[in-house]
Structure 1
Protein backbone atom coordinates (compact mmCIF):
# COMPACT_ATOMS: atom_id res chain seq x y z
CA UNK A 1 0.00 0.00 0.00
CA UNK A 2 1.29 3.38 -0.95
CA UNK A 3 2.02 5.93 1.76
CA UNK A 4 2.14 8.85 -0.63
CA UNK A 5 1.28 12.15 1.04
CA UNK A 6 -1.39 13.88 -1.05
CA UNK A 7 0.40 17.24 -1.28
CA UNK A 8 3.32 15.59 -3.10
CA UNK A 9 1.20 13.47 -5.47
CA UNK A 10 2.10 15.61 -8.49
CA UNK A 11 5.76 14.61 -8.00
CA UNK A 12 5.08 10.87 -8.13
CA UNK A 13 7.04 8.93 -10.76
CA UNK A 14 5.96 5.40 -11.74
CA UNK A 15 8.35 2.68 -10.58
CA UNK A 16 8.58 1.24 -14.08
CA UNK A 17 9.96 4.58 -15.35
CA UNK A 18 12.70 4.64 -12.70
CA UNK A 19 13.56 0.98 -13.34
CA UNK A 20 13.87 1.69 -17.07
CA UNK A 21 15.90 4.86 -16.46
CA UNK A 22 18.47 3.05 -14.29
CA UNK A 23 18.55 -0.19 -16.31
CA UNK A 24 16.87 -2.04 -13.43
CA UNK A 25 19.20 -0.46 -10.87
CA UNK A 26 22.24 -1.96 -12.58
CA UNK A 27 25.36 -1.91 -10.42
CA UNK A 28 27.27 -0.11 -13.21
CA UNK A 29 24.96 2.87 -12.64
CA UNK A 30 25.73 3.26 -8.93
CA UNK A 31 27.16 6.73 -8.31
CA UNK A 32 26.95 6.89 -4.53
CA UNK A 33 26.43 4.92 -1.36
CA UNK A 34 24.95 6.70 1.63
CA UNK A 35 23.05 6.21 4.85
CA UNK A 36 19.69 5.80 3.10
CA UNK A 37 20.86 3.55 0.29
CA UNK A 38 22.48 3.59 -3.15
CA UNK A 39 22.17 6.42 -5.69
CA UNK A 40 21.91 5.45 -9.36
CA UNK A 41 22.53 7.52 -12.47
CA UNK A 42 20.00 7.22 -15.27
CA UNK A 43 18.17 8.76 -18.22
CA UNK A 44 14.52 9.60 -17.57
CA UNK A 45 11.90 10.77 -20.05
CA UNK A 46 10.07 13.66 -18.42
CA UNK A 47 7.60 16.02 -20.13
CA UNK A 48 8.93 15.01 -23.54
CA UNK A 49 12.56 15.63 -22.56
CA UNK A 50 15.29 13.10 -21.76
CA UNK A 51 17.07 14.23 -18.60
CA UNK A 52 19.98 12.80 -16.64
CA UNK A 53 18.92 11.90 -13.12
CA UNK A 54 20.19 10.61 -9.81
CA UNK A 55 17.83 8.09 -8.18
CA UNK A 56 18.38 7.52 -4.44
CA UNK A 57 16.86 4.13 -3.63
CA UNK A 58 15.95 3.52 0.00
CA UNK A 59 17.72 0.41 1.30
CA UNK A 60 14.90 -1.95 2.35
CA UNK A 61 17.19 -4.57 3.90
CA UNK A 62 17.94 -2.59 7.05
CA UNK A 63 14.47 -1.10 7.48
CA UNK A 64 13.86 2.44 8.67
CA UNK A 65 14.69 5.53 6.66
CA UNK A 66 11.03 6.33 5.97
CA UNK A 67 11.05 9.53 8.05
CA UNK A 68 14.28 10.66 6.37
CA UNK A 69 12.78 9.84 2.96
CA UNK A 70 9.72 12.02 3.50
CA UNK A 71 11.82 14.77 5.09
CA UNK A 72 13.97 14.98 1.95
CA UNK A 73 10.92 14.91 -0.32
CA UNK A 74 9.26 17.65 1.73
CA UNK A 75 12.36 19.84 1.70
CA UNK A 76 13.37 19.46 -1.94
CA UNK A 77 9.81 19.91 -3.21
CA UNK A 78 9.88 23.49 -1.86
CA UNK A 79 13.49 24.50 -2.49
CA UNK A 80 14.52 26.30 -5.69
CA UNK A 81 18.05 27.69 -5.74
CA UNK A 82 20.93 27.47 -8.27
CA UNK A 83 23.21 25.99 -5.59
CA UNK A 84 20.80 23.33 -4.31
CA UNK A 85 20.02 20.05 -6.09
CA UNK A 86 16.77 20.14 -8.06
CA UNK A 87 14.05 17.62 -7.39
CA UNK A 88 12.46 15.78 -10.31
CA UNK A 89 10.12 13.61 -8.26
CA UNK A 90 9.91 10.45 -6.20
CA UNK A 91 8.62 6.90 -6.29
CA UNK A 92 6.58 5.32 -3.48
CA UNK A 93 5.35 2.07 -4.95
CA UNK A 94 5.60 -1.68 -4.29
CA UNK A 95 7.63 -1.15 -1.10
CA UNK A 96 10.11 0.99 -3.05
CA UNK A 97 10.95 4.51 -1.95
CA UNK A 98 13.14 6.44 -4.40
CA UNK A 99 14.04 10.14 -4.53
CA UNK A 100 14.80 11.42 -8.04
CA UNK A 101 16.85 14.59 -8.56
CA UNK A 102 18.66 16.03 -11.55
CA UNK A 103 22.17 14.64 -11.89
CA UNK A 104 24.42 17.33 -10.44
CA UNK A 105 27.64 15.45 -9.68
CA UNK A 106 29.50 15.25 -12.98
CA UNK A 107 32.66 16.25 -11.06
CA UNK A 108 31.75 14.19 -7.98
CA UNK A 109 31.60 15.71 -4.52
CA UNK A 110 33.80 18.33 -2.90
CA UNK A 111 35.31 15.58 -0.74
CA UNK A 112 36.99 14.06 -3.81
CA UNK A 113 38.85 17.28 -4.68
CA UNK A 114 40.11 18.59 -1.34
CA UNK A 115 43.67 17.46 -2.11
CA UNK A 116 43.48 18.09 -5.87
CA UNK A 117 46.66 20.09 -6.73
CA UNK A 118 44.93 21.61 -9.77
CA UNK A 119 41.98 22.85 -7.74
CA UNK A 120 42.73 26.58 -7.69
CA UNK A 121 42.13 29.09 -4.93
CA UNK A 122 39.57 30.96 -7.02
CA UNK A 123 37.73 27.71 -7.82
CA UNK A 124 37.59 26.89 -4.13
CA UNK A 125 36.35 30.37 -3.28
CA UNK A 126 33.59 30.22 -5.93
CA UNK A 127 32.38 26.95 -4.43
CA UNK A 128 32.39 28.46 -0.92
CA UNK A 129 30.40 31.48 -2.10
CA UNK A 130 27.86 29.24 -3.85
CA UNK A 131 27.30 27.08 -0.76
CA UNK A 132 27.09 30.17 1.47
CA UNK A 133 24.40 31.64 -0.78
CA UNK A 134 22.47 28.36 -0.64
CA UNK A 135 22.61 28.36 3.16
CA UNK A 136 21.50 31.98 3.37
CA UNK A 137 18.54 31.05 1.16
CA UNK A 138 17.72 28.09 3.41
CA UNK A 139 17.93 30.11 6.59
CA UNK A 140 16.20 33.34 5.65
CA UNK A 141 14.32 33.24 2.33
CA UNK A 142 11.00 34.99 3.04
CA UNK A 143 9.33 33.59 -0.06
CA UNK A 144 8.82 30.23 1.65
CA UNK A 145 7.57 31.61 4.95
CA UNK A 146 9.88 29.35 6.96
CA UNK A 147 13.58 28.67 7.37
CA UNK A 148 15.47 25.41 7.00
CA UNK A 149 18.26 24.13 9.26
CA UNK A 150 20.19 21.72 7.06
CA UNK A 151 22.13 19.75 9.72
CA UNK A 152 24.06 17.64 7.20
CA UNK A 153 26.56 20.01 5.59
CA UNK A 154 29.85 18.32 4.78
CA UNK A 155 32.19 17.87 1.84
CA UNK A 156 30.24 14.77 0.72
CA UNK A 157 26.87 16.53 0.45
CA UNK A 158 28.34 19.36 -1.66
CA UNK A 159 28.18 18.11 -5.24
CA UNK A 160 30.04 19.70 -8.15
CA UNK A 161 28.43 19.93 -11.58
CA UNK A 162 30.14 20.03 -14.97
CA UNK A 163 30.98 23.73 -14.48
CA UNK A 164 32.37 23.13 -10.95
CA UNK A 165 29.37 24.91 -9.45
CA UNK A 166 28.31 23.57 -6.03
CA UNK A 167 24.95 21.90 -5.48
CA UNK A 168 23.99 21.28 -1.86
CA UNK A 169 22.28 17.94 -1.21
CA UNK A 170 21.57 15.64 1.76
CA UNK A 171 18.36 17.03 3.31
CA UNK A 172 17.30 13.82 5.08
CA UNK A 173 17.58 15.25 8.61
CA UNK A 174 16.76 18.91 7.91
CA UNK A 175 14.36 20.83 10.14
CA UNK A 176 11.83 23.53 9.25
CA UNK A 177 11.63 26.48 11.59
CA UNK A 178 9.79 29.81 11.73
CA UNK A 179 11.89 32.61 10.26
CA UNK A 180 11.70 34.61 13.48
CA UNK A 181 12.88 31.62 15.54
CA UNK A 182 15.91 30.50 13.52
CA UNK A 183 18.28 31.49 16.34
CA UNK A 184 16.24 29.65 18.96
CA UNK A 185 17.03 26.09 20.02
CA UNK A 186 15.06 23.21 18.51
CA UNK A 187 15.28 20.22 20.81
CA UNK A 188 17.22 17.51 19.05
CA UNK A 189 19.68 14.71 19.53
CA UNK A 190 23.17 15.39 18.10
CA UNK A 191 22.69 15.12 14.34
CA UNK A 192 25.38 15.10 11.69
CA UNK A 193 28.69 13.53 10.73
CA UNK A 194 31.66 13.06 13.02
CA UNK A 195 34.07 15.95 12.64
CA UNK A 196 31.31 18.42 11.79
CA UNK A 197 29.07 18.26 14.85
CA UNK A 198 28.35 21.53 16.62
CA UNK A 199 29.84 21.09 20.12
CA UNK A 200 27.09 23.30 21.59
CA UNK A 201 24.35 20.77 20.81
CA UNK A 202 25.29 18.73 23.87
CA UNK A 203 25.02 21.80 26.11
CA UNK A 204 21.83 23.31 24.72
CA UNK A 205 20.16 19.94 24.03
CA UNK A 206 19.22 21.17 20.58
CA UNK A 207 20.14 22.88 17.31
CA UNK A 208 19.74 26.31 15.74
CA UNK A 209 20.72 27.75 12.39
CA UNK A 210 24.08 28.48 14.04
CA UNK A 211 24.69 24.72 14.04
CA UNK A 212 24.84 24.98 10.23
CA UNK A 213 27.27 27.87 10.59
CA UNK A 214 29.64 25.67 12.59
CA UNK A 215 29.57 22.79 10.11
CA UNK A 216 30.08 25.20 7.22
CA UNK A 217 33.11 26.61 9.03
CA UNK A 218 34.57 23.11 9.18
CA UNK A 219 34.03 22.76 5.42
CA UNK A 220 35.76 26.10 4.82
CA UNK A 221 38.83 24.80 6.64
CA UNK A 222 38.66 21.47 4.80
CA UNK A 223 38.91 23.47 1.58
CA UNK A 224 41.81 25.58 2.89
CA UNK A 225 43.80 22.72 4.42
CA UNK A 226 43.03 20.09 1.79
CA UNK A 227 42.01 17.41 4.29
CA UNK A 228 38.87 15.81 5.71
CA UNK A 229 37.16 16.99 8.88
CA UNK A 230 37.85 13.62 10.50
CA UNK A 231 40.71 11.21 9.82
CA UNK A 232 40.48 7.96 11.75
CA UNK A 233 43.59 6.89 13.68
CA UNK A 234 45.34 10.19 12.99
CA UNK A 235 47.13 12.11 15.76
CA UNK A 236 45.01 15.11 14.81
CA UNK A 237 41.90 13.20 13.83
CA UNK A 238 39.57 16.21 14.16
CA UNK A 239 40.27 19.19 11.93
CA UNK A 240 38.24 21.80 13.87
CA UNK A 241 40.33 21.91 17.09
CA UNK A 242 43.51 21.70 15.00
CA UNK A 243 42.70 24.79 12.93
CA UNK A 244 41.48 26.69 15.99
CA UNK A 245 44.85 26.05 17.68
CA UNK A 246 46.87 27.14 14.65
CA UNK A 247 44.72 30.18 13.93
CA UNK A 248 44.96 31.43 17.52
CA UNK A 249 48.73 30.85 17.55
CA UNK A 250 49.17 32.55 14.15
CA UNK A 251 50.58 29.36 12.59
CA UNK A 252 47.70 28.64 10.20
CA UNK A 253 50.14 28.73 7.27
CA UNK A 254 51.65 25.51 8.63
CA UNK A 255 48.55 23.48 7.80
CA UNK A 256 47.31 25.13 4.58
CA UNK A 257 47.35 22.69 1.67
CA UNK A 258 50.94 22.88 0.24
CA UNK A 259 49.78 23.06 -3.38
CA UNK A 260 47.43 25.87 -2.45
CA UNK A 261 50.26 27.80 -0.79
CA UNK A 262 52.35 27.36 -3.93
CA UNK A 263 49.51 28.63 -6.10
CA UNK A 264 49.15 31.72 -3.96
CA UNK A 265 52.86 32.41 -4.10
CA UNK A 266 53.28 31.75 -7.81
CA UNK A 267 50.12 33.59 -8.82
CA UNK A 268 50.71 36.53 -6.45
CA UNK A 269 47.15 36.35 -5.17
CA UNK A 270 46.54 39.03 -2.59
CA UNK A 271 47.01 37.82 0.97
CA UNK A 272 44.02 39.97 1.80
CA UNK A 273 41.82 37.29 0.23
CA UNK A 274 43.30 34.62 2.49
CA UNK A 275 43.00 36.83 5.57
CA UNK A 276 39.31 37.57 4.95
CA UNK A 277 38.61 33.90 4.28
CA UNK A 278 40.41 32.54 7.33
CA UNK A 279 38.88 35.15 9.66
CA UNK A 280 35.42 34.21 8.37
CA UNK A 281 36.01 30.48 8.72
CA UNK A 282 37.38 30.93 12.25
CA UNK A 283 34.39 33.01 13.32
CA UNK A 284 32.08 30.17 12.24
CA UNK A 285 33.77 27.84 14.73
CA UNK A 286 33.20 30.01 17.79
CA UNK A 287 32.19 27.77 20.67
CA UNK A 288 29.12 29.77 21.67
CA UNK A 289 26.42 29.80 19.00
CA UNK A 290 25.55 33.43 19.70
CA UNK A 291 29.10 34.50 18.78
CA UNK A 292 28.97 32.92 15.33
CA UNK A 293 28.17 35.25 12.40
CA UNK A 294 24.90 35.62 10.51
CA UNK A 295 24.83 33.72 7.20
CA UNK A 296 24.42 36.92 5.17
CA UNK A 297 27.62 38.33 6.73
CA UNK A 298 29.45 35.15 5.75
CA UNK A 299 28.22 35.49 2.16
CA UNK A 300 29.44 39.11 2.03
CA UNK A 301 32.88 38.27 3.43
CA UNK A 302 33.44 35.31 1.12
CA UNK A 303 32.38 37.42 -1.85
CA UNK A 304 35.01 40.00 -0.80
CA UNK A 305 37.65 37.26 -0.57
CA UNK A 306 36.73 36.05 -4.06
CA UNK A 307 36.78 39.59 -5.45
CA UNK A 308 40.30 40.11 -4.07
CA UNK A 309 41.50 36.79 -5.48
CA UNK A 310 40.11 37.54 -8.94
CA UNK A 311 41.58 41.04 -8.90
CA UNK A 312 45.11 39.79 -8.28
CA UNK A 313 44.88 36.81 -10.60
CA UNK A 314 47.49 36.78 -13.40
CA UNK A 315 46.33 36.94 -16.96
CA UNK A 316 46.04 33.49 -18.56
CA UNK A 317 49.18 32.24 -20.28
CA UNK A 318 47.39 31.92 -23.62
CA UNK A 319 46.63 35.66 -23.41
CA UNK A 320 50.08 36.82 -22.26
CA UNK A 321 52.03 34.97 -24.96
CA UNK A 322 50.28 36.58 -28.01
CA UNK A 323 50.70 40.03 -26.44
CA UNK A 324 54.40 39.37 -25.85
CA UNK A 325 54.88 38.14 -29.42
CA UNK A 326 53.05 41.17 -30.80
CA UNK A 327 55.19 43.59 -28.79
CA UNK A 328 58.38 41.78 -29.85
CA UNK A 329 57.56 42.07 -33.55
CA UNK A 330 56.45 45.69 -33.13
CA UNK A 331 59.81 46.50 -31.51
CA UNK A 332 61.72 44.61 -34.20
CA UNK A 333 59.80 46.39 -36.98
CA UNK A 334 60.52 49.84 -35.49
CA UNK A 335 64.20 48.95 -35.06
CA UNK A 336 64.51 47.88 -38.71
CA UNK A 337 62.65 50.97 -39.87
CA UNK A 338 64.97 53.32 -37.91
CA UNK A 339 68.11 51.58 -39.13
CA UNK A 340 66.99 51.82 -42.72
Structure 2
Protein backbone atom coordinates (compact mmCIF):
# COMPACT_ATOMS: atom_id res chain seq x y z
CA UNK A 1 0.00 0.00 0.00
CA UNK A 2 1.49 3.32 -0.94
CA UNK A 3 0.70 6.93 -0.39
CA UNK A 4 -2.28 8.28 -2.33
CA UNK A 5 -1.50 9.82 -5.70
CA UNK A 6 -0.89 13.54 -5.99
CA UNK A 7 1.43 15.82 -4.11
CA UNK A 8 0.73 16.14 -0.39
CA UNK A 9 1.12 19.62 1.07
CA UNK A 10 2.91 19.13 4.37
CA UNK A 11 4.07 21.07 7.43
CA UNK A 12 6.65 19.74 9.89
CA UNK A 13 5.02 19.69 13.34
CA UNK A 14 7.71 18.17 15.55
CA UNK A 15 10.75 15.90 15.60
CA UNK A 16 9.69 12.83 17.59
CA UNK A 17 11.75 10.08 19.20
CA UNK A 18 11.95 8.02 15.99
CA UNK A 19 11.41 10.59 13.27
CA UNK A 20 9.58 13.65 12.04
CA UNK A 21 5.85 14.25 12.44
CA UNK A 22 4.05 16.12 9.65
CA UNK A 23 0.60 17.57 9.13
CA UNK A 24 -0.59 17.42 5.55
CA UNK A 25 -3.54 17.68 3.18
CA UNK A 26 -4.44 15.13 0.52
CA UNK A 27 -5.32 17.15 -2.60
CA UNK A 28 -7.72 14.67 -4.23
CA UNK A 29 -10.08 14.46 -1.24
CA UNK A 30 -9.12 17.64 0.66
CA UNK A 31 -8.54 15.48 3.73
CA UNK A 32 -6.17 16.52 6.53
CA UNK A 33 -3.79 13.82 7.79
CA UNK A 34 -0.73 13.51 9.95
CA UNK A 35 2.28 11.36 9.15
CA UNK A 36 5.39 10.07 10.86
CA UNK A 37 8.53 9.54 8.79
CA UNK A 38 10.99 7.24 10.51
CA UNK A 39 14.63 8.29 10.62
CA UNK A 40 16.09 5.29 8.79
CA UNK A 41 19.73 5.91 9.73
CA UNK A 42 21.18 3.01 11.73
CA UNK A 43 17.93 1.02 11.72
CA UNK A 44 16.68 2.80 14.87
CA UNK A 45 12.98 2.35 15.41
CA UNK A 46 12.53 -0.28 12.71
CA UNK A 47 10.95 -2.78 15.13
CA UNK A 48 8.61 -0.08 16.52
CA UNK A 49 7.63 0.91 12.95
CA UNK A 50 6.67 -2.68 12.07
CA UNK A 51 4.81 -3.13 15.36
CA UNK A 52 2.80 0.07 14.85
CA UNK A 53 1.98 -0.88 11.28
CA UNK A 54 0.85 -4.42 12.13
CA UNK A 55 -1.48 -3.23 14.89
CA UNK A 56 -2.98 -0.42 12.79
CA UNK A 57 -3.60 -2.84 9.90
CA UNK A 58 -5.20 -5.57 12.03
CA UNK A 59 -6.94 -3.81 14.94
CA UNK A 60 -9.66 -1.39 13.82
CA UNK A 61 -11.78 0.42 16.41
CA UNK A 62 -13.49 3.81 16.78
CA UNK A 63 -11.20 4.71 19.67
CA UNK A 64 -7.97 3.68 17.94
CA UNK A 65 -6.30 6.09 15.53
CA UNK A 66 -6.94 4.99 11.92
CA UNK A 67 -4.33 4.15 9.30
CA UNK A 68 -4.72 6.09 6.04
CA UNK A 69 -1.64 4.87 4.11
CA UNK A 70 1.95 3.77 4.58
CA UNK A 71 5.25 3.46 2.77
CA UNK A 72 7.66 0.67 3.76
CA UNK A 73 10.77 1.06 1.64
CA UNK A 74 14.37 0.83 2.77
CA UNK A 75 14.94 4.58 2.49
CA UNK A 76 11.38 5.74 3.32
CA UNK A 77 9.29 4.38 6.17
CA UNK A 78 6.17 6.51 6.62
CA UNK A 79 2.85 5.94 8.38
CA UNK A 80 -0.07 8.22 7.51
CA UNK A 81 -2.87 8.57 10.08
CA UNK A 82 -6.28 10.18 10.31
CA UNK A 83 -5.97 13.69 11.69
CA UNK A 84 -7.00 14.33 15.29
CA UNK A 85 -7.48 18.09 15.19
CA UNK A 86 -7.10 18.77 18.92
CA UNK A 87 -3.79 16.96 19.17
CA UNK A 88 -2.80 14.98 22.26
CA UNK A 89 -4.51 14.97 25.65
CA UNK A 90 -1.45 16.27 27.51
CA UNK A 91 -1.82 19.70 25.86
CA UNK A 92 -5.38 20.07 27.22
CA UNK A 93 -5.15 18.86 30.82
CA UNK A 94 -5.24 22.46 32.11
CA UNK A 95 -7.72 23.67 29.48
CA UNK A 96 -10.94 25.02 31.05
CA UNK A 97 -12.90 23.72 28.03
CA UNK A 98 -12.01 20.17 29.09
CA UNK A 99 -14.82 19.88 31.63
CA UNK A 100 -15.60 16.78 33.70
CA UNK A 101 -18.12 15.41 31.19
CA UNK A 102 -15.50 15.57 28.41
CA UNK A 103 -12.88 14.03 30.71
CA UNK A 104 -15.23 11.20 31.58
CA UNK A 105 -15.99 10.57 27.89
CA UNK A 106 -12.25 10.51 27.11
CA UNK A 107 -11.74 7.98 29.94
CA UNK A 108 -14.55 5.81 28.58
CA UNK A 109 -13.12 6.03 25.04
CA UNK A 110 -9.64 4.92 26.13
CA UNK A 111 -11.05 2.19 28.39
CA UNK A 112 -13.14 0.91 25.44
CA UNK A 113 -10.06 0.82 23.20
CA UNK A 114 -8.05 -1.04 25.85
CA UNK A 115 -10.87 -3.54 26.37
CA UNK A 116 -10.91 -4.21 22.61
CA UNK A 117 -7.12 -4.68 22.49
CA UNK A 118 -6.95 -6.81 25.63
CA UNK A 119 -9.74 -9.19 24.60
CA UNK A 120 -8.49 -10.01 21.15
CA UNK A 121 -11.21 -10.36 18.54
CA UNK A 122 -11.83 -13.41 16.40
CA UNK A 123 -8.40 -14.73 15.41
CA UNK A 124 -6.58 -11.61 16.65
CA UNK A 125 -4.30 -11.91 19.64
CA UNK A 126 -4.30 -9.72 22.74
CA UNK A 127 -2.40 -6.42 22.53
CA UNK A 128 -0.88 -4.82 25.63
CA UNK A 129 -0.10 -1.18 24.84
CA UNK A 130 2.77 -0.71 27.36
CA UNK A 131 2.96 3.07 26.88
CA UNK A 132 -0.33 4.56 28.09
CA UNK A 133 0.16 8.28 28.74
CA UNK A 134 -1.64 11.53 27.82
CA UNK A 135 0.74 12.13 24.89
CA UNK A 136 -0.50 8.93 23.23
CA UNK A 137 -4.20 9.80 23.50
CA UNK A 138 -5.32 11.94 20.57
CA UNK A 139 -8.46 14.05 20.50
CA UNK A 140 -10.78 14.79 17.60
CA UNK A 141 -12.68 18.05 17.10
CA UNK A 142 -15.56 16.75 19.26
CA UNK A 143 -13.15 15.65 22.05
CA UNK A 144 -13.43 11.94 21.20
CA UNK A 145 -10.39 9.90 22.31
CA UNK A 146 -8.21 7.95 19.87
CA UNK A 147 -5.49 5.74 21.30
CA UNK A 148 -2.25 5.86 19.32
CA UNK A 149 1.49 5.09 19.34
CA UNK A 150 1.74 1.30 19.33
CA UNK A 151 5.50 1.09 18.79
CA UNK A 152 6.14 -0.45 22.22
CA UNK A 153 2.99 -2.59 22.24
CA UNK A 154 3.20 -6.34 22.70
CA UNK A 155 1.04 -8.75 20.72
CA UNK A 156 0.55 -11.88 22.78
CA UNK A 157 -1.32 -15.15 22.36
CA UNK A 158 -4.35 -15.55 24.62
CA UNK A 159 -5.07 -18.88 26.22
CA UNK A 160 -6.71 -20.23 29.36
CA UNK A 161 -3.44 -21.02 31.11
CA UNK A 162 -1.25 -17.98 30.40
CA UNK A 163 -2.38 -14.40 30.80
CA UNK A 164 1.03 -12.83 31.37
CA UNK A 165 4.38 -12.40 29.63
CA UNK A 166 7.81 -12.13 31.23
CA UNK A 167 9.90 -9.53 29.44
CA UNK A 168 12.16 -6.56 30.07
CA UNK A 169 10.05 -3.71 31.40
CA UNK A 170 9.59 -0.91 28.89
CA UNK A 171 7.51 2.22 28.58
CA UNK A 172 7.90 5.87 29.52
CA UNK A 173 9.52 6.58 32.86
CA UNK A 174 6.90 7.72 35.36
CA UNK A 175 4.09 5.89 33.52
CA UNK A 176 5.19 2.26 33.92
CA UNK A 177 3.26 0.01 36.32
CA UNK A 178 5.62 -0.38 39.36
CA UNK A 179 4.71 -4.08 39.77
CA UNK A 180 5.65 -4.75 36.13
CA UNK A 181 8.84 -2.71 36.56
CA UNK A 182 9.87 -4.75 39.59
CA UNK A 183 8.77 -8.24 38.52
CA UNK A 184 9.06 -7.97 34.70
CA UNK A 185 5.71 -9.81 34.59
CA UNK A 186 3.48 -8.02 32.10
CA UNK A 187 -0.30 -8.41 32.16
CA UNK A 188 -3.13 -6.40 30.66
CA UNK A 189 -3.65 -4.97 34.17
CA UNK A 190 -0.39 -3.03 33.67
CA UNK A 191 -2.17 -0.90 31.05
CA UNK A 192 -5.21 -0.52 33.30
CA UNK A 193 -3.08 0.51 36.30
CA UNK A 194 -1.47 3.34 34.35
CA UNK A 195 -4.73 4.55 32.80
CA UNK A 196 -6.54 4.59 36.15
CA UNK A 197 -3.89 7.01 37.39
CA UNK A 198 -5.38 9.71 35.13
CA UNK A 199 -8.99 9.34 36.32
TM-score after normalising by structure 2: 0.90
2:197 counterpart of 1:215: no
In the TM superposition, residue 183 of structure 1 has moved relative to its aligned partner by 6.4
Question: Gaps (5+ residues) in structure 1?
Answer: 1-10, 24-28, 221-340
2:178 match: secondary structure: coil
- Partner Cα separation in structure 2 for residue 165 and residue 54 of structure 1: 17
In the TM superposition, residue 175 of structure 1 has moved relative to its aligned partner by 1.0
- Partner Cα separation in structure 1 for residue 15 and residue 161 of structure 2: 31
- Residues 165-214 of structure 1 deviation map (CA, whole Å, 9 limit, x = unaligned): 01110100111112336963312212111111111123332311111111
The answer on whether the counterparts of 2:38 and 2:78 sit within 8 Å (CA) in structure 1 is: yes
The answer on whether the counterparts of 1:182 and 1:208 sit within 8 Å (CA) in structure 2 is: no
2:39 counterpart of 1:49: no
2:87 match: secondary structure: coil
Structure 2 residue corresponding to 1:39, chosen from 18, 21, 37: 21
Alignment of 1:1-340 (within 5 A): 11-13=1-3, 20-23=7-10, 29-44=11-26, 49-61=29-41, 63-93=43-73, 95-104=75-84, 106-180=85-159, 184-220=163-199
In the TM superposition, residue 87 of structure 1 has moved relative to its aligned partner by 0.5
The answer on whether the counterparts of 2:52 and 2:151 sit within 8 Å (CA) in structure 1 is: yes
The answer on whether the counterparts of 1:151 and 1:174 sit within 8 Å (CA) in structure 2 is: yes
The answer on whether the counterparts of 1:110 and 1:159 sit within 8 Å (CA) in structure 2 is: yes
Question: Gaps (5+ residues) in structure 2?
Answer: none
| Structure label with greater radius of gyration | 1
- Partner Cα separation in structure 1 for residue 119 and residue 161 of structure 2: 8
Count of aligned pairs between the two proteins: 199
Q: Runs of at least 4 residues of structure 1 off by over 6 A?
A: none
- Partner Cα separation in structure 1 for residue 181 and residue 47 of structure 2: 23
In the TM superposition, residue 98 of structure 1 has moved relative to its aligned partner by 0.6
* Structure with the larger helix share: 1
In the TM superposition, residue 52 of structure 1 has moved relative to its aligned partner by 1.6
When the two chains are superposed, the root-mean-square deviation of aligned CA atoms in Å is 2.2
- Residues 94-113 of structure 1 deviation map (CA, whole Å, 9 limit, x = unaligned): 51111111112x11211011
TM-score after normalising by structure 1: 0.54
The answer on whether the counterparts of 2:131 and 2:176 sit within 8 Å (CA) in structure 1 is: no
